[in-house]
């Protein structure tokens, strides 16, 4: 088998660490933020594989976040945002620079204005919390996103969604922090959302407002329940995975292409193409990130040889 392709760098990382000092966060005022070193990332992702972050921080407020981001800019240190880790594969060698996670205890404030039909939420909040609360308040637009793990920030960054809707279709504005630490608001007319992509490529999504429609809460709960049942019956939700590995090529299903290529159940080391859904890779005991990368390449190569279709990864790779 060929060695794994090196996927294009994630657009959410701000380039190579370059000449970053070895201890960019020592003896500087970070507004009270603490930075750990060699922090294991595997337990913070759904695939549970991969190496550590060179530096890791969980800022509790905007001042701390800004201090960290500005320090990265000053020292040319790579900075990445980790959400719920449900669409992410970290390489075995880990990642250089700083990884920031917005802890949900401090970044989950949600305000619903049922009359205006809006919900405004911090981007560290679990998407499931936003979905549940808007359904309860009788606001329609997010109910079919039930069962998608991760945070509001991760969902907006990759415009997560399903057959019926995606998160971008009801997003009205997003407050973001740029790589230089500036806070700006991106309004609807500046935003564009496509299939599993958004124009939100700023370093950190902070807070988002959604414009929703008034509806009967029982009808919404019923729609959410039906979507959840369908999802549970077709996806290996009880296994370690990162959702769909590949994007669906126009008019086709990546899962079907993988299944028709006879790849369901194929294993490399501790990673396996799910026998439930061809577009899910699940990891088990002893799995390494390299196993997942080899399996991704095997699927991509086999589908290309059999059908001529080039599969593109939906999964982010650090
Ligand atoms: C069992 C399972 C089922 C799934 N089903 C679906 C589905 O039906 N539809 C779907 O679209 N996806 C699905 N997914 C994939 C995944 O849940 C979504 O893509 C999710 O929205 C990712 O959010 P996250 O917070 O986990 O992001 P992460 O995986 O942590 O990160 C993904 C990307 O978002 C960026 N990011 C995260 N937070 C921020 C922030 N605050 N600011 C800036 N950038 C940020 C990261 O830097 C990274 O580039 C599924 C995954 C699993 C494991």
- Per the DSSP assignment, residues forming a β-bridge with 173 are 187, 209
pLDDT tens, position by position, 20-58: 677 999 999 999 999 999 999 999 999 999 999 999 999
Domain-wise residue ranges, the chain: 110-220, 236-317
Average pLDDT over residues 9-29: 65
Q: How far is the CA of 310 from the centre of ligand 1 (A)?
A: 23
For the domain bounded by 110-220, which CATH number is listed?
3.30.465.10
pLDDT in the model for residue 3:
36
The answer on pLDDT for 116 being more than 50 is yes
Q: Does residue 255's CB lie within 6 angstroms of at least one atom of ligand 1?
A: no
Share of the chain above pLDDT 70, in %: 94
- Dist. CA 65–CA 30, nearest whole Å: 8
pLDDT tens, position by position, 150-163: 999 999 999 999 88
Instruction: Quickly list DSSP for the chain.
Output: -PPPP-PPPPTTS-S--TT--S-TTTTS--TT--EEEEEE-GGGSSS----EEEEEE--SSHHHHHHHHHHHHHHT--EEEE-SSTTEE--TT-EEEEEEE--TTTS--EEEETTTTEEEEETTSBHHHHHHHHHHTTEESSGGGTT--SBHHHHHHTT-B-SS-BGGGGEEEEEEE-TTS-EEEEEGGG--EETTEES--SSEEEEEEEE-EE--HHHHHHHHHHHHHHHHHHS-TTSB--SBSBPPPTTS-HHHHHHHTT-TT-EETTEEE-SS-TTBEEE-TT--HHHHHHHHHHHHHHHHHHH-----B-SEE-
Write the CA distances from 159 to 44, 63, 194, 197, integer angstroms: 21, 27, 7, 5
pLDDT in the model for residue 236:
84
Domain 236-317: which topology?
A: 3.90.78
pLDDT in the model for residue 19:
60
Residue nearest (by alpha carbon) to ligand 1 atom 22: 154
Q: What is the pTM of this model?
A: 0.93
Residue nearest (by alpha carbon) to ligand 1 atom 52: 243
Q: Does residue 236's CB lie within 6 angstroms of at least one atom of ligand 1?
A: no
- Dist. CA 86–CA 245, nearest whole Å: 11
Average pLDDT over residues 125-143: 98
Q: Does residue 201's CB lie within 6 angstroms of at least one atom of ligand 1?
A: no
Q: Which of 244, 260, 254 is nearest to 309 (CA)?
A: 254
Best residue among 56, 160, 316, 317 to mutate for probing ligand 1's pocket (most ligand atoms within 8 Å of CB) is 160
Residues with active-site annotation = 196, 244, 314
pLDDT in the model for residue 13:
46
pLDDT in the model for residue 78:
97
3-17, 68-82, 241-255: the lowest-pLDDT one: 3-17
């Amino acid at each position: 088998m060929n060695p794994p392709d090196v996927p294009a760098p994630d657009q959410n990382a701000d380039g190579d660490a370059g000449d970053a000092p070895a201890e960019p966060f020592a003896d500087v005022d970070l507004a009270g933020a603490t930075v750990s070193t060699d922090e294991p990332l595997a337990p913070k992702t759904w695939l549970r594989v991969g190496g550590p972050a060179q530096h890791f921080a969980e800022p509790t407020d905007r001042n701390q976040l800004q201090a960290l981001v500005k320090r990265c800019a000053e020292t040319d240190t790579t900075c990445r945002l980790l959400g719920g880790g449900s669409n992410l594969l970290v390489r075995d060698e880990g990642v250089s620079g700083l990884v920031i996670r917005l802890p949900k205890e401090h970044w989950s404030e949600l305000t619903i204005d049922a009359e205006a039909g809006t919900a405004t939420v911090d981007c560290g909040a679990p998407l499931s919390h936003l979905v549940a609360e808007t359904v309860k308040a009788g606001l329609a637009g997010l109910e079919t996103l039930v069962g998608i793990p991760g945070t509001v920030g991760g969902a907006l960054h990759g415009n997560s969604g399903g057959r019926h809707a995606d998160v971008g279709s009801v997003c009205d504005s997003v407050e973001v922090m740029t790589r230089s630490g500036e806070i700006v608001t991106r309004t609807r007319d500046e935003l564009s959302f496509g299939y599993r992509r958004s124009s939100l490529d700023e370093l950190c999504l902070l807070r988002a407002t959604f414009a929703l429609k008034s509806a009967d809460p029982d009808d919404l709960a019923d729609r959410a329940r039906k979507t959840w049942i369908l999802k549970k019956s077709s996806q290996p939700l009880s296994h370690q995975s990162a959702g769909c590995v590949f994007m669906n090529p126009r008019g086709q299903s990546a899962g079907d292409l993988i299944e028709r290529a006879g790849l369901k159940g194929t294993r490399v080391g501790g990673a396996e193409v799910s026998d439930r859904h061809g577009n899910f890779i699940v990891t088990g005991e002893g799995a390494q990130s390299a196993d997942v990368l080899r399996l991704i390449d095997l699927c991509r190569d086999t589908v290309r040889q059999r059908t001529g279709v080039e599969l593109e990864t939906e999964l982010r790779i650090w």
